[in-house]
Amino acid sequence: MVWGLRFYLVQPQGFYIDLSSQTILKFYSESEDAKINDDFTQNEPTWSLPDLALAYNFGEIGPGKLAVYANAGIPAGGGSLNWKDGTIGTAAYGSTIAATASALVPGTTLTGYDTSLEASSIYYGIGGGVSYSIFDDLVSASAGVRWVKANRSGSIDAKYTYNTIGSVIAKYDYTYEASGFTPIFGIDVRPIKGLTLGARYELETPLEFVYDTDEISVSSASTTLNAGILAKLDQDGDKIQQNLPQVITFGAEYVINPKVAVSAGTNLYLLGMADIEDSNGDDMSRFFGVGYELNLAGQFKPIEKLTLGATTMYSNQGVKDSYFESEANLLTASANPPLDSLTFGLGAKYNVVKTLDVLLSGAYIYYIPADYTTTTSGLEVSYEKRIVNICVGASYKF
């Protein structure tokens, strides 16, 4: 929640450390029923996404209390995907090649394909800042910055078979990376006893990605076709801007009594205002609006040492239908479709000793299935996703 830094300010003076790790089990499926007539699945897990938070509460400094913090984790991206039989996008690319080949051999059509796609997206973040509270902890403010290192990669293996030119075999391995800084500001207040209101603002993170082609090859009976496909695929040295958007967060927590607390919050992602380009350098802002999340949570302490929690959240990705309907986005959209979702989570925290807490939580994320028809080729695509998230962690005070 946005008032997380207040926790350290209202705790006794000292050094605090939080360490956690998430395991993400991903179950994706998709199908196309008009022209490709095939189903695709991937179940590649992400075994560990670690997160570390450090804070030191100096106690009374001047008219209020001062705390500093540092953290390291994964602010975006979710690890790897492995589509062993390819995706709708990799299958459809065979028809794109057929259109190119028809200029050389009229009447060329796709008769078969065998493809696979591996992709990875992990954004590493390291940050720090300061928080200060005044008026007996009734008001606190924080300011910090996060350095983001974004690593993405892809690997495509494909064999397409045609009625006139035989087989086209292609392999393309690439990476593209970027880094940038995110200024972050927060404030929270306690207007009445037990109630905390908070807000956080993250500025847009500038990320200029640079492509690096690790391996690329195309083999067919036509050297002219090979050269044409290579020219379209190879992006070595190309630069594209794909910034992380501004994020505005609001939250409220009410402690009903020492055993029960409830909270609610929202995150707003200003995607339509972010500088986002596609692989050709064209502006993609027209495909996005404002993404948002709405969450409700509650905590209950059945005994002094044990805290139980539950949460539910609705997420709207802020992606317009035109994003899915544009065939130019098909390869990216089919690899990891940005669907709206519902999250249901449970967790427990246990105080082992006075200075040590351990945490276990789990969440089920149900992505709302979606069907789209592409405007160019009339492909009828269907997307489904499910995720199970397991988190373990510990907190210690020195």
* Number of domains the chain is built from: 1
Q: Residue 387 pLDDT more than 70?
A: yes
241-289 residue pLDDT tens: 999 999 999 999 999 999 999 999 999 999 999 999 987 788 999 999 9
% of the chain at pLDDT higher than 70: 97
Amino acid 389 reads N
Q: What is the CATH number of the domain that holds 288?
A: 2.40.160.60
Query: What is the rounded average pLDDT for all residues in the chain?
Result: 93
Examine the pLDDT at 4 and tell me if it is beyond 90: no
Q: How confident is the model at residue 30 (pLDDT cuts 50, 70, 90)?
A: very high
pLDDT of residue 2: 45
Residue 1 has pLDDT above 50, yes or no: no
Residue 73 domain boundaries: 4-397
Is the pTM above the cut of 0.85? yes
- Amino acid residing at 291: G
Q: For residue 7, what pLDDT band results from cuts at 50, 70 and 90?
A: low
SS3 280: coil
**How far is the C-alpha of 264 from the C-alpha of 173, rounded, in Å?**
43
Average pLDDT for 195-222: 95
What's CA 379's distance to the chain center, in Å? Answer: 26
- The per-residue pLDDT for 13 is 81
pLDDT digits (tens, 9 = 90+) for 212-244: 999 999 999 899 999 999 988 888 899 999 999
> What pLDDT was estimated at residue 281?
81
Residues 337-349: tens digit of each pLDDT? 999 999 999 999 9
Residues written for the chain: 398
Mean pLDDT within 42-52: 95
CB 22 within 8 A of CB 390: yes
User: 86 with 116: CB under 8 angstroms?
Assistant: yes
284 vs 271: CA distance, rounded Å: 10
The helix (H) or strand (E) run that includes residue 286 is: none
Residue-level pLDDT at 11: 65
| Look-up of token digits 């495909």 | 287
Q: What are the tens digits of pLDDT across the range 355-370?
A: 999 999 999 999 999 9
Inform me whether the pLDDT recorded for 3 exceeds 60.
Answer: no
pLDDT in tens, 165-188: 999 999 999 999 999 999 999 999
